[in-house]
Amino acid sequence: MRLRFVLGIGLAMLFANSAEAFTAYVSNEKSNTVSKIDTDSWKVTKTIRVGQRPRGIAYTKDQKYVMVACGDDDTIQLIDTHTDAVAGSLPSGPDPEFFAAGPDGKLLYVANENDNTVTIIDIPRRALIGAVQVGVEPEGMVMSPDGKILINTSETTNMAHFIDPVKREVVASVLVDQRPRFAAFTPDGTELWVSAEVGGTVSVIDPVKHVVEHRIEFAIPGMRSDAIQPVGVNITREGKLAFVALGPANHVAVIDIKTHKVLKYLLVGQRVWHMEFTPDQKYLLTTNGLSNDVSVIDVASLKVVNTVQVGELPWGVTISDH
């Protein structure tokens, strides 16, 4: 009995210590590099030279590559995750900024800021296979959890566009506040959250009725309201909490999904834009453009527990599955 108890503690400690280490890749918009971070030691283990102005960044579904949108080179580069070298590129169309993959990981939908289009790319064939006309300055991209609807936000048109990925056409558009940057679905697909950077709000949209049902506003004591500029939105897998990066307000808001109320503001680095959870949902990494670092938020305790220095103007972050 006693032995088993000790063994139990030992096992628990073993698991705690050997929490799986993941790999995070962070795009540094100004340095033209990608920083590779080990989430166990929280150290940058490699800095990879990429094309000009790297912004949107994501693993391919098979984890073989990390895709980086290099806007000023009009291409999406593929970093081989074994060699950490650029091993190819995708024909992205002009000025790619952000993208989302389809459910099978084969198709990639790219927001081309300069062209009012969403470009569709076949990743295995590395070929451009179609385009959808959207509003002015497309930016945010996300696929619904069931893979049936693709969302694109257009910054000057101030809309979330609902795109049928099969028909490749816009089936609905919803007006939100000024300069929508990012869109995220709740895991059950019943709510679409869209941040408006200049408007300073997050709109919660009913994706069936295509209407804004709630508008979340932010207020941080001592902070001028114009500095609160929401960009990245990340929602926990069980759909309880949403994290919203507030840009030059240097805070991440934690929101209760059920009540749409802000529970807490976490102080992170300067000009926080994009974020990503580790796959075990223990940590949330944030890119802080003006302080050139990544903040590590402990999701359970809602505390910032670490900071990792990266390149200049870190923009996006992607984390390995294992």
Partner 1 sequence: MIRTSVVATLLVIAVSPALPASTLDVKIGYIGTIEKTTTISLLEMPAPNAGLAGAQLAVDDNNTTGKFLNQSFALQEIMLNGEDDPAAAMQKLSDAGISLIVADLPADGLIKAADAGRERGLVFFNAGATDDRLRQDDCRINVIHAAPSRAMLGDALAQYLVWKHWTRWFLVFGSHEPDKLFADALRRSATRFGARIVQEREFKDTGGARRTDTGLVQIQSQIPLFTQSAPDYDVLVTADESQVFADYMPFRTSQPRPVAGSAGLEPTSWDASFGQWGALQLQSRFTKKFSRWMTALDMQAWTAVRMIGEAVSRTNSADAKTITRYMRGPDFAVAAFKGDKLTLRDWDLQLRQPILLADGRTVVSVSPQPGFLHQHSELDTLGFDRPDTKCQLK
Encoded one letter per residue, x for contact with partner 1 by CB under 8 A and - for no contact, window 96-125 reads -----------------xx-x---------
Asked whether position 158 contacts partner 1 by CB under 8 A, the answer is yes
**Position 271 contacts partner 1 (CB under 8 A):** no
Q: Does the protein bind partner 1 through residue 212 (CB under 8 A)?
A: yes
Give the SS3 label for residue 13: helix
- Residues 38-77, one symbol each (x = binds partner 1 by CB under 8 A, - = not), give ----------------------------------------
Closest distance of CB 42 from partner 1, Å: 31
Minimum distance of partner 1 from residue 313's CB (angstroms): 11
**251 vs 265: CA distance, rounded Å:** 6
Minimum separation from the CB atom of position 114 to partner 1 (A):
5
Q: Which is nearer to partner 1, 100 or 228 (CB)?
A: 228
Non-local CB neighbours of 68 within 8 Å, separated by 6+ positions: 25, 27, 34, 50, 51, 54, 55, 56, 57, 76, 77, 79
Inter-CA distances, 274 with 118, 121, 143, 212, Å: 20, 23, 17, 23
Integer angstrom CA distances of residue 218 from 90, 195, 221: 38, 12, 10
| Stretch of 17-25, 195-203, 261-269, 297-305 lying at the interface with partner 1 (CB under 8 A) | 195-203
CA–CA separation, 141 vs 107, rounded Å? Answer: 13
Residue type for position 207: P
Q: By C-beta, is 193 or 277 nearer to partner 1?
A: 193
Please name the residues in contact with 231: beta carbons below 8 A apart, sequence gap of 6 or more.
181, 182, 195, 197, 245, 246, 247, 272, 273, 274
Phi and psi at residue 302, to the nearest 5°: 55, 50
Nearest distance in Å: CB 65, partner 1: 27
How many residues sit in the footprint of partner 1 (CB under 8 A)?
35
Tell me if 127 contacts partner 1 by CB under 8 A: no
Closer CB to partner 1, residue 123 or residue 134? 134
Among 170, 235, 245, 262, binds partner 1 (CB under 8 A): 170
Using the rule CB under 8 A, give the single segment among 28-36, 39-47, 101-109, 150-158 that binds partner 1. 150-158
The torsion region of residue 34 among left (phi > 0), alpha (psi -120 to 50) and beta comes to beta
Element (H, E) at 212: strand 211-217
Identity of the residue, 66 or 174, whose beta carbon is nearer to partner 1 in the bound complex: 174
Distances (CA, A) of 229 to 26, 94, 95, 160, 246: 21, 26, 23, 17, 5
Least spacing, CB of residue 209 vs partner 1, in Å? 9
Residues at the site binding partner 1, with contacts judged by CB under 8 A: 95, 113-114, 116, 135-137, 154-159, 161, 170, 173-179, 198-200, 203, 210-215, 224, 226, 248
